[in-house]
Structure 1
Amino acid sequence: MDLNAVHTFVAAAAAGSFQDAAAELAVTQQAVSKRVAALEQDLGVRLFHRSPRGTELTIDGQAFLPHARELLRVAERAAASVRPGSRALRVDVIASRIAPSGLLREFHRAHPDVELDVVHLHTVDDAVAALRAGTIDASFRAVLAPGRGLPEEIATAHVLDEPHDLLTGPGHALANARSVTLAGLAGHRIWIPGSAPGTEWGAYYDDLCAAFGLTIEGTGPNFGSDALLDVIADTPGLATLAGARTRLVWPAGHDLRRVPVHDPVPVYPHSLIWHRDNPHPALRTLRSHLAAIPDARPEGATWAPDWARR
């Protein structure tokens, strides 16, 4: 059903004549007549009695009028649900405890009027596909892994270089160290479950191992950060790497230790990616908020893979 014709019918019913409806709609009287005639043909009934004095609704027109008004209300609600600025800004972050989630919470506190819809997609390929399809507005990701450049329509902006800490249980050989060098981690077992091939974080840790002779194991199912912390607390020979801004909470009995890593400091590059044609006004607000964050890079030399360097 042509909603433009339905709108014209409702206007003509309210005005009492095609001429007055044409003036209200800023179209010709002939256009009003054609639209109403097309609607009548579509419905198979006459909606108006026409006379030199004007128009009057037929019985069928009276029956159709409340439904026509409801059709227009439903159409407006449907359009408003997707109109830029009327729907929530949908942002992808990999997990709820990592640094970008914290940045998104800070954005929400600074802009409580912006409605957010947070989703968790697995890989950067999933995020790029969702951006191209329009099912998300933005995604926090590392710069793409080697050989997989961003499509031309996907824009990116660097947000944060996050240093890594070594996370150990109380019985680990490095538990009481004030800091540790990257070279000093060689020979120690580091466990990061979920570091899967084909992900940007998997590529990051593969390059870190290759550059400094480290052993990072990604074996076993990934039951989440709580299960990981339980294992680290109870296994003296096992440690993991955690972002310095990653929010981790554990029971007091775990007595876990965060040991800063330096010479150089391994930093994980967080970026925001979005579709260049996305018109959502809150996306510009998010980008401006992130751009205003001070660039708190760690002192001294840092390391990131070649594909992740600014």
Structure 2
Amino acid sequence: MDLEAVRTFVTVVDAGRFQAAAADLGVTQQAVSKRVAALEKALGAQLFTRTARGAELTIDGRAFLPHARELLRVAERALASVRPGRRALRVDVIASRVAASGLMREFHRAHPEFELDVLMLFDIEAAVAAVRSGEIDASFRAVSAPGRPLPGDVESVRVLDEPLQLLTGPAHALAGARSVTLAQLAGHRIWMPGLVPGTEWAAYYDDLVAEFGLTIEATGPNFGSDALLDTIADTPALATFMGEHTRLVWPDGHGLRRIPVIDPTPVYPHSLIWRRDNPQPALAALREHLAAPRPGGSEDPVGPEGRTWTPAWARRR
């Protein structure tokens, strides 16, 4: 479909007359008439009737008008997606309540001039493929998991080491503790139904279990964070891990406890990944924003004497 003809049709509707539409478009009235006639021929329907008051829509014209406006909106979005400085910055944050989502909210507050498109991909393979294809501009991930080095055209930088906390219900044996050590957690059941084998977060917890002799159960369906909180609140034998920056709200009656884990503090290594040759101006601004010092950044000491733990594959050289 000829978008110029569609644009001319909408302009005639808004202007009310062919002559006024011609003036708005900067063309002759004859050109407007030809474009509308060509559109009517393509559609097989008459769109206007001419009256003394101007051009009035037919029944078919009124039916076509909302679709014509949507076609023009889609065309504008398509142009903006490749127009320098106009395309929205597309960033994968994995989930809406996690630390990466919080980092993007901070960036939006600091740089409201940039349009953002935040989405959530499932695993690192999908994220890296989307970064390489240009489908997204960046992704927050823990990289690189064992056996999964990043491709040469993808770059990454560590942006946040997020401390883990233990979440318990009010009747759990550790509910009254101000902090717990990893050694104290040995023998306690930690339930994390969202752990999916093959993902980078599953690799992280596999190494944590192996090094400190913990018991993490990933059994049962994952019904989301609300169902997880309900179960933890009602089951004294269960606890779960969550990031310090994960934002959760639960009912007052749950009485849940968020307890710091120390000696050492396990931290989840969030990195930003992007394609090296991506010219998106907002991406450069995001990288600069994340590089600025802030509370909870990857350089901050965590726990007693700053002792932290990450898997060997995530440690800096």
Q: TM-score, normalised by structure 1?
A: 0.76
- Counterpart of 1:305 in structure 2 is 311
**1:259 aligns to what?**
259
Any idea what the Cα deviations from partners look like across 1:162-202, whole Å, max 9, x if unmatched?
11111000000000011111011000000111111110000
Partner residue, 1:129: 129
Deviations 1:59-83 (A, max 9, x none): 999947998xxxxxx9887433322
Q: Distance in 2 between matches of 1:203 and 1:81?
A: 35
Determine the structure 2 residue equivalent to 1:22.
none
Distance 1:230 1:102 in 2: 24
SS in 2 for 1:184: helix
Is 1:296 matched up with 2:294?
no
1:161 and 1:297 in contact (8 A); partners too: no
Distance 2:33 2:175 in 1: 81
Tell me, yes or no, if the aligned pair for 1:177 and 1:259 is still in contact at 8 Å. Answer: yes
Please, which runs of 5 or more residues in structure 2 have no aligned partner? 5-27, 39-73
- Tell me which amino acid in the other structure corresponds to 1:102: G
Matched residues in 2 for 1:256 and 1:247: separation? 14
1:293, distance to aligned residue in structure 2 (A): 3.2
**CA displacement at 1:236 relative to structure 2:** 0.1
Q: Counterpart of 1:117 in structure 2: which amino acid?
A: D
Q: Which structure has the larger Rg?
A: 1
Matched, 1:249 2:249: yes
- Answer with 287-296 or 109-118: which moved more: 287-296
Q: SS of the residue aligned with 1:121?
A: coil
Provide closer, same or farther for how the CA distance between residues 62 and 154 of structure 1 changes in structure 2, counting only shifts above 3 A: same
Aligned-partner residue type, residue 221 of structure 1: P
Quick one: which amino acid aligns to residue 137 of structure 1? D
> Which stretch shows the higher mean deviation, 248-257 or 81-90?
81-90
Provide the secondary structure at the position in 2 that maps to 1:267: strand
Per the alignment, do residues 76 and 94 of structure 1 end up closer, same or farther by CA in structure 2, a change over 3 Å counting? closer
Question: Where does residue 94 of structure 1 map in the other structure?
Answer: 94
Q: How many residues of Structure 1 are paired with residues of Structure 2 in the alignment?
A: 255
Q: After the TM superposition, list the runs of 4 or more consecutive aligned residues in structure 1 that deviate by more than 4 angstroms.
A: 59-62, 64-67, 74-78
- Do the aligned partners of 1:208 and 1:214 also contact (CA within 8 Å) in 2? yes
> Match of 1:165, SS?
strand
Aligned partner of 2:201 in structure 1 is: 201
Counterpart CA distance in 2 for 1:80 and 1:268 is: 36
Taking a change above 3 Å as real, the CA distance of residues 123 and 66 of structure 1, as seen in their structure-2 partners, is same
Partner of 1:271, secondary structure, is: strand
Partner of residue 18, structure 1: none
Deviations 1:79-125 (A, max 9, x none): 33322321211100111111111111011111111111111000000
- Conservation of the 8 A alpha-carbon contact between 1:164 and 1:241: yes
- For residues 227-262 of structure 1, the C-alpha deviation after alignment (integer angstroms, 9 at most, x for no partner) is 100000000000001111111111010000111111
Residues 124 and 144, structure 1, Cα contact 8 Å, conserved in 2: no
Distance 1:117 1:220, change over 3 A: same
1:149–1:252: structure 2 CA closer, same or farther, 3 Å change rule?
A: same
Q: Distance in 2 between matches of 1:197 and 1:129?
A: 19
TM-score (norm 2): 0.74
Distance 1:216 1:76 in 2: 50
- Asked whether the 8 Å contact 2:81–2:88 carries over to 1, the reply is no
- % identical aligned pairs: 70
